[in-house]
Chain A
Amino acid sequence: MDLKVCIGCALIGLAVSGSVAAPGTADRIQGEKLPATVVDDVVVPVPGEVFLVLEKLSAPNWRALLRTGEPRAAGDRARTALLLGTVIADGFIAVQAQDREEVKRIGKTVLALSSAIGVRKSVVARSNSIIEAADAQAWPRVRSELDKALQDVQAAMTELHDEQLAQLVSLGGWLRGTEVLTTVVGSAFSADGAELLHQPALVDYFSGRIAGMDSRLKGNPLVSEIAGKLQEIRPLVAVENGRRISREDVERLRTISSDLLRSILAKSAA
């Protein structure tokens, strides 16, 4: 039994934390050195992983990248799940900015959005840990607590048979991370920075997840909009046949991700 296929076990409260493989996503490593090796999942990185590289490359002004306004839960649960992912990503930006008050505010917003989608109980302790770690300015611990919050939310959603909604939390985080990455790289273009956008496996993963959603969720206008834009994003993040990600590609990716973030935030910002 795989940790990543323990969905049934999670429902009966026994599962170990971990992402869950979508059925039918197995493929094989292309090379001949490891023939017939089954690949059954993609581990989605947290935004903090790529932000750390950005910090080493260009020491961005993280405070300038923080969003203003207070995101509020929408009536639409899909939108709220996406929004929650973007807010957790904001937490990683606030960690990079070492902005204690912003991290604390984000911790509270994570709790409010979690309440709106019915997983408050699982996130209360984590939200408090985020706030405590921020007060202590223990930035690696804040980063770790944000990651745990993400896993807690997703595990709780899975328990509530909302696994597909949990995938939208990851997707929201990835979109916000991509918006920040393209903003930073676009403002001082470098080949090394642009290379960080080489993430076709993640784009394929998210596209596959949306394709596998039930028709109600797949037909949600916002989810549908994102699915369409992922098709536009896919060729821009590929580097096959010697192609490199250009300044124009970065700008186009920034526009797409910003537009999607605006759509997610529509009707939810105070």
Chain B
Amino acid sequence: MSRMHSALLGLVGLLMVAGPALASVDDALSFALEAASPYLKEGFTVREDQSGGDLAVGERRAVRYQLFKGNEYWFWAAVDVTKAKFHLRVVDGEGNALEAERWERGRMAGVRVVPPTTGSYFVVFEILDSPEERTGWAVVYGFR
């Protein structure tokens, strides 16, 4: 098999694997942005830097954020599987929860944080249950 042939097969393989996974992240991201949209009217600026991926049941992911005391933040998360259950937390470096307010509606959730100090915090996302082997997820955030 020629090198070119191998490369093309590899690319096709990558497309076959990545295509569905990205589609699912795309869906989750759309729902997360939908969750965020009402907050634009309340003066929140929604960041373009999103986190996401796909996880199996029981897996969790944490992403570090630099937050500034004096700002108010909302983190919005969503999954691409209707019946999936997930948990979204925002914690400090010791794992202490920081939520000032939270809501969960179907495949979307939101957490409000008023950081007590300036520093780095962690957004922790966990899939608790899902009918699918992998569940696409996304988190976006906004500040004001």
Question: Interface on A for B, CB 8 Å cutoff?
Answer: 1-6, 8-9, 12, 14-19, 29-34, 37-46, 48-50, 52-53, 56-57, 140, 143-144, 147-148, 150-151, 192, 195-202, 239
Residue of A nearest to B143 (CB): A49
Residue of B nearest to A5 (CB): B53
B26 to chain A: which residues have CB within 8 Å?
16
Which of A12, A19, A38, A41 lies in contact with B14, CB distance below 8 A? A12
Min CB gap B20→A, angstroms:
10
User: Does B85 belong to the interface (CB within 8 Å)?
Assistant: no
A34 to chain B: which residues have CB within 8 Å?
62, 91, 95, 122, 124
A30 adjacent to B94 (CB under 8 Å): yes
A3 adjacent to B64 (CB under 8 Å): no
User: Does B130 belong to the interface (CB within 8 Å)?
Assistant: no
Which of B45, B53, B64, B92 lies in contact with A140, CB distance below 8 A? B45
Interface residues on B, range: 35 or more
Min CB gap B84→A, angstroms:
17
Min CB gap A23→B, angstroms:
15
Min CB gap A147→B, angstroms:
5
B22 to chain A: which residues have CB within 8 Å?
1, 6, 9, 14-16
Contact with A along B30-46 (1 / 0, CB 8 A): 00000000001001011
Given contacts A14-B15, A42-B63, 7 further A-B pairs with CB under 8 A are: A8-B14, A29-B124, A31-B91, A41-B51, A53-B68, A140-B43, A140-B45
Q: How far is the CA of A52 from the CA of B43 in the complex (A)?
A: 12
Within 8 A of A (CB), among B4-25: 11, 14-15, 18-19, 21-22, 25
Within 8 A of A (CB), among B53-76: 53-54, 60-66, 68-71
| A38-B62 contact given A3-B50, A16-B52, A31-B93, CB 8 Å threshold | yes
A8 to chain B: which residues have CB within 8 Å?
14, 18
| A41-B15 contact given A18-B52, A29-B95, CB 8 Å threshold | no
Within 8 A of A (CB), among B111-128: 117-120, 122, 124
User: Does B101 belong to the interface (CB within 8 Å)?
Assistant: no
A41 to chain B: which residues have CB within 8 Å?
51, 63-64
Q: How far is the CA of A150 from the CA of B49 in the complex (A)?
A: 10
User: Does B82 belong to the interface (CB within 8 Å)?
Assistant: no
A44 to chain B: which residues have CB within 8 Å?
49, 66
| A3-B45 contact given A14-B18, A30-B94, CB 8 Å threshold | no
B70 adjacent to A1 (CB under 8 Å): no
Which of A33, A38, A196, A239 lies in contact with B68, CB distance below 8 A? A196
B29 adjacent to A16 (CB under 8 Å): yes
Q: How far is the CA of A151 from the CA of B29 in the complex (A)?
A: 16
Between-chain CB contacts (< 8 Å), 19 pairs: A2-B52, A3-B29, A3-B52, A4-B52, A9-B14, A9-B18, A14-B18, A17-B49, A31-B91, A32-B95, A40-B63, A42-B65, A43-B63, A44-B49, A140-B43, A147-B47, A147-B49, A195-B117, A196-B68
State the 10 A-B residue pairs at the shortest beta-carbon distance, nearest first.
Answer: A33-B95, A2-B53, A31-B94, A31-B95, A53-B70, A3-B52, A201-B120, A34-B95, A151-B48, A1-B21
B95 adjacent to A39 (CB under 8 Å): no
B119 to chain A: which residues have CB within 8 Å?
198-199, 201, 239
Q: How far is the CA of A57 from the CA of B19 in the complex (A)?
A: 47
A29 adjacent to B53 (CB under 8 Å): no
Q: How far is the CA of A256 from the CA of B50 in the complex (A)?
A: 31
A143 adjacent to B45 (CB under 8 Å): yes
Residue of A nearest to B29 (CB): A16
| A202-B47 contact given A14-B18, A18-B52, A33-B96, CB 8 Å threshold | no
B49 adjacent to A43 (CB under 8 Å): yes
Which of A3, A38, A42, A143 lies in contact with B120, CB distance below 8 A? A42
B61 adjacent to A144 (CB under 8 Å): no
